[in-house]
Amino acid sequence: MTLAVGIYLFNNVEVLDFAGPFEVFTTANRVSLRRSPDKAAPFNVFTVAKTEEAVQARAGLKTLPDFWLSNCPVIDLLIVPGGVVDQELNDYEVVSWVRESATRAQIAASVCTGAFLLAKAGLLHGKRATTHW
């Protein structure tokens, strides 16, 4: 079974916070396929942003999302990276999408300040969470 791994991108996202998980899951695919070339890759990794427009990460790296909120496939594992999340925290559409996607997903995880977006979506209520903040 292939798990759909959706990584949410937004302006001022921290490059390492989205590129690190992307690399981990795509490397796991390469290793798995090398060991078992007759089996499907364990992960379908893709990025999602609010719209189809390029996202400008911190330090200026521009990235085109694979999907956007309106056409995103079902996500099994949602990853919300960190960065400057102020604009995202005040965007009802984004917060609602995170809540809905995480509720349907098997796992929702964040990196660094991405935890604030999970919290704003009500996903951490009554749960233990940790961040350097």
Q: Which positions are annotated as active-site residues? A: 112
Q: What is the 3-state secondary structure (H, E, C) of the chain?
A: CCEEEEEECCCCECHHHHHHHHHHHHHHHHHHHHHCCCCCCCEEEEEEECCCCCEECHHHCEECCCEECCCCCCCCEEEECCECCHHHHCCHHHHHHHHHHHHHCCEEEECCCHHHHHHHCCCCCCCCCCCCC
Q: How far apart are CA 48 and CA 10, in angstroms?
A: 9
